[in-house]
Amino acid sequence: MERTLVLIKPDGVRRNIIGDVISRIERKGLKIVALELRTLDAETARTHYEEHASRPFFPSLVDFITSGPLVAMVVEGDRCVEAFRALAGATDPVAAGPGTIRGDFALQVQANIVHGSDSTYSAEREIKLFFPDLG
Ligand code: ATP
């Protein structure tokens, strides 16, 4: 069964919308198979976002993602990578459609509430980083 890594980023936790995000995942028919509230250290954050290491926003992105607790989840289901990215909406929340998580809750491209792996390949790498015991 396909799996994806979902993060409710620190802005989502600060705004007390963990339940709303989880509810949307469950209502869609996807299954949460692992879940943890944790604060990332800078090294883990840099590894997670390594594809953006050369971008000007990288230092600020690492500061943001380590700024408080986040919720990390492994979500499972048929085509769940694509299904969760559709639930999340576009990276830029202003462009994200109403009814999507980012479209409903966010305005800024950095503080955009959730992360979802962008491919099954990334999902495998990210799940290993966040849940090394999951196999
Ligand atoms: P995610 O990987 O978090 O699911 P994404 O795949 O939609 O998001 P990416 O282009 O991979 O988007 O960017 C990763 C994250 O980096 C974004 O979710 C956002 O928090 C941040 N980001 C992207 N572009 C910018 C930018 N121009 N300025 C600030 N932060 C940005």
Query: Whole-model pTM?
Result: 0.96
Q: What SS3 class is residue 108?
A: coil
Residue 68 has pLDDT above 90, yes or no: yes
For the record, the structure tokens of 49 come out as: 């976002």
The whole-number average pLDDT for the span 13-31 is: 98
Helices (H), ranges, 15-57 = 18-28, 42-48
Measured in Å, residue 61 CA sits from the centre of ligand 1 at: 8
Mean predicted confidence (pLDDT) in 89-102: 98
Mind listing the domains of the chain with CATH numbers? 3-130 (3.30.70.141)
What residue ranges line ligand 1, CB within 6 angstroms?
57, 61, 91, 109-110, 112, 115-116, 118
Which pLDDT score is estimated for 135?
A: 66
Q: Is 9 annotated as a binding residue?
A: yes
Q: What is the ipTM of this complex?
A: 0.91
Running DSSP on this structure, what letter comes out for residue 53? T
